[in-house]
A and B are shown apart, each in its own frame.
Chain A
Amino acid sequence: MSEIAITSSGRDRGVKFRPVTHDSAFARYALIATAVLFLAIFLLAPLAIVFVEAFSKGIGPFLAAFDDPDARAAIRLTLLVAAIAVPANLVFGLAASWSIAKFSFPGKSVLITLIDLPFSVSPVVAGLVYVLVFGGQGLFGPWLAAHGVQIIFAVPGIVLATIFVTFPFVARELIPLMEEQGKIEEEAALTLGASGFKTFLTVTLPNIKWGLLYGVLLCNARAMGEFGAVSVVSGHIRGLTNTIPLQVEILYNEYNNVAAFALAVLLAGLALVTLGLKTFLEWRHADALSGRARRH
């Protein structure tokens, strides 16, 4: 932002002219006002109203929302789903980035496109494809029913749908990062006699740890907050297959605003923590993150 500082330092030196690369004061203030107003209306107000509504009847009703056994079951289920989906995609992200960044083979860009595919699929469609595979009328439906295995309208389906929608997060952060870092350090370690696994643990992992954390953060936020995909496969059975976002929907549709927004506060808090850590990583460890994949 060095060129922006010129205005003030120019004024200090008594320069009356505006640099030709700067907009007029009027344009500047008008644009800043437009941007701030737009962001306030479209981003900050929706965030603020979550907290306002949750505490609208005071702290008592807010806390009471968490005494509900269904709410507690929803929180437990959300934690369980994230505890399976995030590590699963973490392992995949490491495997995919290792094979893509450290080796050259034909069809690499096709593979990367395929890994990104779940981001272009509507969450509802993501849920639907699992219904088509495992649902009662689905591909394996009759076989699963005969063997007493339930995937759709049960926890396994929720986990699968969550893994699908969070699939690319870790991989798309690690692939460009490991490609930028190259493989010289690993080759040095290997030729000096380190085993492959030791090389990964002591050379690669320290290099990618901030990028890995970044990817895991975004993956976790989405895993805990996913609504559309989970909604299709969950069946909305209270106390059994409702995650926090689904419980929020049920409470809201019952006009139980305080309880709905109280649970929403948990998710909004998670979003704020995610944003905070993400901003911190981008600010403090920008050089340890990949320059490319900072869109999601």
Chain B
Amino acid sequence: MTSPSLVGKNARRFTAPSVIPGFGLTFGYTLIYLGLIVLFPLATLIWQSSGLGFSGLYEIASEPRVAASLRTTFFISFAAAVVDLFFGLIVAWVLTRYDFPGRRLLDAFVDLPFALPTAVAGISLAALYSPNGWFGAPLADYDIKIAFTRWGILVALIFIGLPFVVRTVQPIISELEAELEEASATLGAGRLQTVIRVMLPPLAPALLTGFALAFARSIGEYGSVIFIAGNIAYVSEIAPLLIVVKLEQYDVPGATGIATIMLAISFAALLLINLVQAWSRRRFGHV
């Protein structure tokens, strides 16, 4: 075992001196495992798509069926994140500020979309909203179709994204200072005015972060959507599904191109989150 001590010697110059052992071993293992499992496969994707070049990527993205699926994914993810933003704020507010029977249970259930496998969510949502389901049947009386349309995609993405907004906003609501509310009230503001002008602004960064997290997750979501979407080309076909379709047709470059575009969108969302948090730290002193 000469190599670990060699790593250790190099590491000692790299890291600050410490009595704690094991830096070389654990740091080396971390880098190797991260490299092999995550970075190398992702680099392969980028390398393959760089072979396509920008013109090749553009060609794939402007193929009508691909363009339609990217539009569908992008706009419905955005709409779902907006719905989650609104109702997530209400849910977070209610769960943090009010006490009522069943609050703890409901609070625990907010994490259900994280815990429930997406395929299970997919088939149960399809069962609920299909024309003879619990929600689908009464809606069918009014000629409203959810399952196997774009609305179905929206419902599934609302389900998937909700906990991101609630869990991001909740801690900030519980940290709101009562003194500010009291000051606002004693200065003559009505309750609604206090809520809108004093309490909501500090929540803005958390709301934006939750929104971006829900949006980023929705862009890549597959399992919960494909069962309820109907997957009609040009109408209700999402981009991740088209990757699978292209792979089944042995169109690896096509699948690679779509994957690269999706990766770029989710990294842009990630960057936005980091910028919002940096701004929030400067503006409000918290994330």
Residues of A within 8 A of B (CB): 1, 3-5, 20-21, 23-24, 27-28, 31-32, 34-36, 38-39, 41-47, 49-50, 53, 92, 94-96, 98-100, 102-106, 111, 114-115, 117-118, 120-125, 128-133, 135, 137-139, 160, 163-164, 167, 183, 186-187, 190-191, 196, 199-200, 218, 221, 224-228, 231-232, 245-246, 248-249, 252, 257, 260-261, 264, 267-268, 271-272, 274-276, 278-279, 294-296
A50 close to B120 (CB less than 8 A): yes
With A187-B19, A271-B117 as contacts: A43 and B112 at CB distance below 8 Å: yes
A247 to B235, CA, bound (A): 27
Contacts of A98 in B (CB 8 A): 22, 26
B26 close to A121 (CB less than 8 A): no
Contacts of B124 in A (CB 8 A): 46-47, 49-50, 53, 261, 264
- Say yes or no: is B141 at the interface (Cβ < 8 Å to chain A): no
Q: Count the B residues whose beta carbon is within 8 Å of the partner chain — how many?
A: 101
A45 close to B219 (CB less than 8 A): no
Contacts of A257 in B (CB 8 A): 127
B20 close to A196 (CB less than 8 A): yes
A45 close to B162 (CB less than 8 A): no
Contacts of A120 in B (CB 8 A): 216, 220, 266-267, 269-270
A104 close to B16 (CB less than 8 A): yes
- Say yes or no: is B42 at the interface (Cβ < 8 Å to chain A): yes
Q: Told that A124-B220, A267-B120 touch, could you supply 14 new A-B pairs with CB distance under 8 A? A: A43-B110, A53-B124, A92-B29, A95-B26, A117-B38, A124-B259, A125-B259, A128-B247, A128-B255, A131-B252, A132-B41, A186-B20, A278-B115, A295-B164
Distance (Å) between the CB of A111 and the closest chain B CB? 7
B159 close to A128 (CB less than 8 A): no
B114 close to A296 (CB less than 8 A): yes
- Say yes or no: is B108 at the interface (Cβ < 8 Å to chain A): yes
* Interface flags, B5-26, vs A, CB<8A=1, else 0: 0000000001110111111011
* Of A21, A53, A96, A271, the contact of B115 (CB 8 Å cutoff): A271
* Of B37, B87, B195, the contact of A38 (CB 8 Å cutoff): B87
Q: In chain B between 90 and 132, which residues have their CB closer than 8 angstroms to a CB of chain A?
A: 90-91, 93-95, 97-100, 102, 104, 106, 108-125, 127-128
* Of A1, A129, A196, the contact of B45 (CB 8 Å cutoff): A129
User: Which of B54-62, B63-71, B181-189 sits within the interface?
Assistant: B181-189
* Interface flags, B243-287, vs A, CB<8A=1, else 0: 110010010100110010011001101100000000000000000
A214 to B61, CA, bound (A): 41
Distance (Å) between the CB of B167 and the closest chain A CB? 5
Can you list the 9 inter-chain pairs with the closest CB atoms, starting with the nearest?
A122-B220, A225-B117, A20-B185, A227-B223, A196-B21, A129-B41, A228-B222, A271-B115, A99-B27
Residues of B within 8 A of A (CB): 14-16, 18-23, 25-27, 29-30, 33-34, 37-42, 44-45, 48, 87, 90-91, 93-95, 97-100, 102, 104, 106, 108-125, 127-128, 133-135, 155, 158-159, 162-164, 167-168, 178, 181-182, 185-186, 191, 194-195, 213, 216, 219-223, 227, 240-241, 243-244, 247, 250, 252, 255-256, 259, 262-263, 266-267, 269-270
Distance (Å) between the CB of B7 and the closest chain A CB? 11
A122 close to B262 (CB less than 8 A): yes
Distance (Å) between the CB of B209 and the closest chain A CB? 10
B91 close to A38 (CB less than 8 A): yes
Contacts of B41 in A (CB 8 A): 129-130, 132-133, 164
- Interface-central residue, A42, A246, A294, by most chain B CB under 10 Å: A42
A164 close to B45 (CB less than 8 A): no
A39 close to B110 (CB less than 8 A): yes
A186 to B20, CA, bound (A): 7
Contacts of B267 in A (CB 8 A): 120
With A248-B119, A252-B123 as contacts: A42 and B158 at CB distance below 8 Å: yes
A163 to B87, CA, bound (A): 33
B45 close to A252 (CB less than 8 A): no
* Of A4, A95, A164, the contact of B38 (CB 8 Å cutoff): A164
Contacts of B185 in A (CB 8 A): 20-21
A47 to B14, CA, bound (A): 51
Contacts of B113 in A (CB 8 A): 43
- Interface-central residue, A35, A39, A41, A294, by most chain B CB under 10 Å: A35
Distance (Å) between the CB of B146 and the closest chain A CB? 12
With A225-B119, A227-B118 as contacts: A123 and B34 at CB distance below 8 Å: no
Contacts of B221 in A (CB 8 A): 122
